[in-house]
Amino acid sequence: MANKDAPFGFKLVGRLGSSVQNNGTTEYEIASGATGSIFSGDPVRMTAAGSILVCDAAGEQPILGIFRGCKFVDTDGQVVFKAHYPSGQTSTSTITALVEDDPNNLYEVQCTGSLALAAVGANVDLAYTAGSTVTGQSKAEVDSGATSAAENFRIVGFSKDPDNDERGSANVNVVVKINEHFYSTTTGV
């Protein structure tokens, strides 16, 4: 049976080792009026200005973590909670983003193509497509065609999802760890 082609971004499924996963997030700031929508499940990066932006191109690193939503005060003075940050959103207060930023987190994500068992331990890069403004959900995937030492994510294993675990077939889901994580490098912004 073929895998379903239904990208969903990066879904937290655990962490390396046997420690407890608490699904914790850290608050970061998005600059008012920042360009580039960010969807729940999108990887994000730290800017030199101390705010975050979406990683929407292969090779953007280091990755800070995975975006899970935001809150801000809109132009009508209402506090808004959203699963995604709309590009260019302005606010009279801080735009607060929630990010899963633990360097040891493991994520399930769909591949753009097929991968075999030999891909476990290899690195793959981001394949970005903007998510849904209706649901706020990411459509980010990993590029199954590019594996090298300098890619964003390390493949740890394959999904246990019976609808998307067929190795060697297009759109297989894999479990990855952020390979080039902001908190695992010695260089700051």
Neighbour count for residue 2 (Cβ, 10 Å): 10
What integer is the mean pLDDT of 25-50? 95
CB atoms closer than 10 angstroms to residue 175: 20
The domains of the chain are located at: 11-15+103-181, 26-100
Question: Residue 32 is encoded by which pair of tokens?
Answer: 């008012």
pLDDT tens track for 101-152: 999 999 999 999 888 888 899 999 999 999 999 999 999 999 987 666 778 8
Quick check: helix, strand or coil at residue 112? coil
CB 66 within 8 A of CB 44: yes
For the chain, the residue count is 189
Is the distance from CB of 16 to CB of 106 less than 8 angstroms?
A: yes
Amino acid of residue 18: S
Q: For residue 164, which amino acid is it? A: N
**How far apart (Å, rounded) are the C-alpha atoms in residues 163 and 45?**
31
Question: What's the pLDDT at 17?
Answer: 81
